[in-house]
């Protein structure tokens, strides 16, 4: 990944809201002195803002806020009632509890803010909001956005790397008459030509196990493409129509 790609991804995460509070503050300060970063942030804001007009607000479950607040109170109560006789052990556990409280408070803020987000942002935030807290960093979902130039994203793809579970989500893309969308993967170890991942079905999705033969490390290095092909897919085994490309990036990361 080039420095430019890395900076562009940082700008995208800032606009999508996937950075934690400390990271967001650092990026906000950095953009004041970094014209390139500031321009990339403004470009992503302009690119994603129109999506907010295309979706309806989705209300969370009626008891979600109550459960989050109750869990925060339980963790805080546990912290306040520690036994003084085991101060060192309590200190270690308190650190973990405090981390959980911060995570739950962050989720609460995301929930309150997330109802007005564009579809692209909602897909990423859903992972952070609804998934259990990850115990290892490799369990982070990886996400790719497929779009042409400055147009609205056509597709978003997420992959759970340990299981290689694939999810394809159409954003602005729609079924085409007498045409099919086909997904491809390309990585140096696979040879000079792209390999087909599969032809998207009528719902513009693919089987969840379509990437099961590839290792997580290969998937993190690979380039992915989605091309427009004749009905049923490419007749040559290679992309024949217009294609858009993307790379997998972690949905959450540290600066």
Between 66 and 34, the more confident residue is 34
Is 131's pLDDT higher than 60?
no
Q: What is the mean pLDDT of the chain?
A: 76
pTM score of the predicted model: 0.48
Average pLDDT over residues 165-179: 91
Q: Nearest to residue 243, comparing CAs of 174, 201, 184, 193?
A: 184
Q: Position of tokens 């807290």? A: 133
pLDDT in the model for residue 110: 46
pLDDT in the model for residue 250: 82
pLDDT in the model for residue 105: 54
pLDDT in the model for residue 231: 94
Other beta carbons less than 10 A from residue 4's beta carbon: 10
CA 57-139-2 angle, to 5 degrees, is 85
Q: Position of tokens 């990036």? A: 249
pLDDT category of residue 31 using cuts at 50, 70 and 90: very high
With b meaning 16 or more CB within 10 Å and e meaning fewer, what string describes 224-250? bbbbbbeeebbeeeebeeebbebbbbb
Q: Where are the beta strands (DSSP E) in 171-241?
A: 180-186, 195-199, 223-229
- Domains annotated on the chain, with CATH: 64-114 (no CATH), 131-255 (2.60.40)
pLDDT category of residue 59 using cuts at 50, 70 and 90: low
pLDDT in the model for residue 211: 95
Strand partners, 146: 155
pLDDT tens column, 173-228 = 899 999 999 999 999 999 999 999 999 999 999 999 999 999 999 999 999 999 99
Average pLDDT over residues 143-170: 86
C-beta separation of 148 from 196 below 8 A: no
pLDDT tens column, 91-126 = 556 555 555 555 555 554 544 444 434 444 444 444
C-beta separation of 232 from 199 below 8 A: yes
pLDDT in the model for residue 120: 47
As a whole-number percent, the residues of the chain with pLDDT over 90 amount to: 36
Between 217 and 71, the more confident residue is 217
pLDDT in the model for residue 145: 87
């Amino acid at each position: 990944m080039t420095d430019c790609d890395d900076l562009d991804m940082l700008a995208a995460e800032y606009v999508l809201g996937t950075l934690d509070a400390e990271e967001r503050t650092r990026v906000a300060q950095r953009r004041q002195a970094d014209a390139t970063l500031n321009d990339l942030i403004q470009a992503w804001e302009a690119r994603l803002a129109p999506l907010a007009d295309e979706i309806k607000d989705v209300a969370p479950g009626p008891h979600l806020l109550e459960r989050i607040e109750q869990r925060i109170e339980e963790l805080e109560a546990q912290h306040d009632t520690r036994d003084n006789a085991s101060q060192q052990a309590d200190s270690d556990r308190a650190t973990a509890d405090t981390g959980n409280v911060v995570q739950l408070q962050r989720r609460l803020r995301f929930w309150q803010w997330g109802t007005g987000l564009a579809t692209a942002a909602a897909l990423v935030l859903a992972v952070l909001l609804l998934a259990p807290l990850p115990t290892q960093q490799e369990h982070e979902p990886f996400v790719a956005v497929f779009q042409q130039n400055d147009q609205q994203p056509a597709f978003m793809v997420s992959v759970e790397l340990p299981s290689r579970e694939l999810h394809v989500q159409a954003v602005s893309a729609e079924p085409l008459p007498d045409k099919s969308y086909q997904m491809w993967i390309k990585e140096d170890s696979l040879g000079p030509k792209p390999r087909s991942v599969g032809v998207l079905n009528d719902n513009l999705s693919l089987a969840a196990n379509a990437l099961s033969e590839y290792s997580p490390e290969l998937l993190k290095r690979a380039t992915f493409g989605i091309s427009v092909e004749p009905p049923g897919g490419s007749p040559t085994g290679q992309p024949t129509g217009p294609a858009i490309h993307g790379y997998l990036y972690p949905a959450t990361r540290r600066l």
